[in-house]
Amino acid sequence: MGQNLPAGTKISKEAKEAMCEMAVELTAFVSMEAAMLAAHESSRSISAECLLDAFKRLDLGSFAPPLQMWLVGRAVKAEPQMMPDAAANYTASAVADLLFTEVEDDVNQNVYHDAAPARAMG
């Protein structure tokens, strides 16, 4: 936790405990949704795809890209015979898929609006 904070920042014991408890609760929350998705697919195992879908369904889609990048990195490490260029292409392709999926999701959810900004009364 400390490595993501500015140098010299201290974290109290209570804050560490609270963060651990929040991580446990978030994990349980997402895992339950992923388990329901897996069961809906008649699977007894939660797949990475179920986790990604669970994040999105729970409106926690911002957690999906880091997980997807971790999965891509893990897949590349699992293929040691992959040439550097092939690994770079694989990663670039996964990132592009990720970005285009997010844009499509935003468009489908009408996140982008053409409305003019409101004017101040005065």
pLDDT digits (tens, 9 = 90+) for 42-54: 998 998 889 999 9
Confidence class for position 34, pLDDT limits 50, 70, 90: very high
Cβ 45 vs Cβ 31: under 8 Å:
no
Task: Please give the tally of structural domains in the chain.
Answer: 2
Residue 86 or 13, more confident: 13
What one-letter code names the amino acid at 27? T
pTM summary value: 0.57
Q: Looking at the structure, tell me whether residues 53 and 78 fall in a common domain.
A: no
Whether pLDDT at 88 is above 80: no
Q: What is the pLDDT averaged over residues 31-52? A: 92
Structural domain contains residue 116 = no
Looking at the structure, tell me whether residues 43 and 83 fall in a common domain.
no
Render 31-99 in DSSP notation, one character per residue: HHHHHHHHHHTT-SS--HHHHHHHHHHTT-GGGHHHHHHHHHHHHHHH-TTS-HHHHHHHHHHHHHHHH
Are 104 and 71 contained in the same domain? Answer: yes
84 in the same domain as 41: no
Domain residues for 29? 1-59
The reply to whether 65 and 49 lie within a common domain is no
Q: Are residues 51 and 66 in the same domain?
A: no
